[in-house]
Structure 1
Amino acid sequence: MCCARSTLLVSTELSLVVFEDTKARFVKGWISRLRRLSEGVGNALRNDPNYQALCDISETMRCSNVFTSRFGKGLGIVGPLVGEDSPLYQSNGVYGMFMYSAFVFFSLFPYRVFAKICVFMGIAANIVSAYLAYILFFVIEDICVVCISTYAIGFFLLIASIKNLSAINTLKAETSLNFSSYLDGKGTPGKKRV
């Protein structure tokens, strides 16, 4: 029974690693696409005033309005705080790129501390997304398909991070129980106690 349990734990660990690798590649691909889209639209709008972005669907659904607004860089608060000539005053896509890259990096390792960092980043990302959604709908009064997609990705990353932390906690608890019963002398793997 112990050997079967050990095999199950190893199998569960391998499943987590394979799941994490697949999830990381999927998330990394979408993050890269969204970042390139947002950066590309922003750069094209700055360099060519006649540029028409693909995400400009109608007069009320225009990514261009959002990317060129004062809230499109530095979340609308970095510029007034540190100045527009500061290296911290970047496009929101740059902040997102760093945050998503950190998500991918930390989710590659099945350690509780990294899973907790991902949950914390997910909470922070959703707070920032709520702020930006408020700006989008009530200040700029526009609908940005790319922006809403990033809000949804942030929400799903938070859910995935919570599930990942839960799975790691469960796995650690099972591994710890199995190991502690071995240390207590209540059994050795593969042998029945008389």
Structure 2
Amino acid sequence: MQLQVNATLILIDQQKGIHEPRLGPRNNPQAEERIAELLEHWRARSWPVIHVQHLSRSPESVFWPQQLGVEFQQRFMPLAGEPVIQKQVPDAFCATGLAADLQRGGVGQLIIVGVATHNSVEATARTAGNLGYETWVVEDACYTFDKQDYFGQWHCAQQVHAMALGNLQGEYATVVTTRDVLMAGRAG
């Protein structure tokens, strides 16, 4: 495994609202630490970082605009020069300038972290893979929540996380760990 020149770290929905208790139990309690570790690694090398911010169309959402939940968490606040892609649906490519920005930057590889694994992370990684990007999803730097399936059966967040990663692995993306990425970054 090796990081390409211009490998871009994409942080998905690291906003205050994601900590809203009504979202329910989650997995990967150390995910934010892993995200911060990767972000620090990227920034120390002046590698490209893109922040994705969800602006919901639903007033019931934790990401409804013009309330605190939509704001970035302090530790993941974009720095000057780090682009912010604002989206209204889970897929960060849909109706945004993300693909054009990546093409302009000569980017061929995306490292995706954030929340929720089964929602915005999976949707964005699927499109990235379909568009031909070498896409890595960092499993210990993503998390999700308990979720009910179509038939009414509840699944714990770790099961939902595992299924989403299983959906991506090998077809749309390569699922990796933070350690894998950091090792690849030191080799490159």
Judge same fold: TM > 0.5, yes or no.
no
Higher helix share: 1
Rg larger for: 1
TM range (shorter): under 0.3
Higher strand share: 2
